[in-house]
Amino acid sequence: MASFAQRFKELREKRWTQDEAAEALGVSRSTIAGYESDTKGRIPRQDTLRKIADVFGVSVDYLLGRDDPSTKTEDDHVSPEEREFLDWVKEHVTGTFFYDFDKSPEESKREMMRGLKLIYEMEKGRKPGQKQGE
């Protein structure tokens, strides 16, 4: 069974450098390195563990090795349409947004995602070079 360190590192490497992950999670780079070290066996505090799960779209159980990855994936709970939207957000929205987003209250996060969803819906059919509204 995969350890927290292995699962965290795998998820982090798909998306960020250690420095970027540290900024997004509000911890130091050395803390990220500690999370990724099997020999240190560091597990984040509960609030940080939840934040990591939310950021990567996985469960805390998955991070802690309690879910069997052969029967479940981190994307099992996301519809194809929602996955397409989330991929668009990752590709088109800057790191600054995610930094601010991460530190916002839950209601503000929901409002920001609603706004992004509207922009996404307007943009998804647009062809390269086509102006908005054409």
Which tens digit of pLDDT belongs to each residue from 31-87? Answer: 999 999 988 888 999 989 988 988 888 888 889 887 655 444 445 566 777 777 777
pLDDT given for residue 6 in this prediction: 93
pLDDT given for residue 9 in this prediction: 94
Percentage of the chain modeled with pLDDT above 70? 78
Q: Give the start-to-end residue ranges of the domains of the chain.
A: 4-63, 80-123
pLDDT given for residue 72 in this prediction: 46
The class level of CATH for 4-63 reads mainly alpha
DSSP line for 82-120? HHHHHHHHHHHS-HHHHHHHHTS-HHHHHHHHHHHHHHH
Rounded to the nearest 5°, which phi and psi values hold at 38? -65, -30
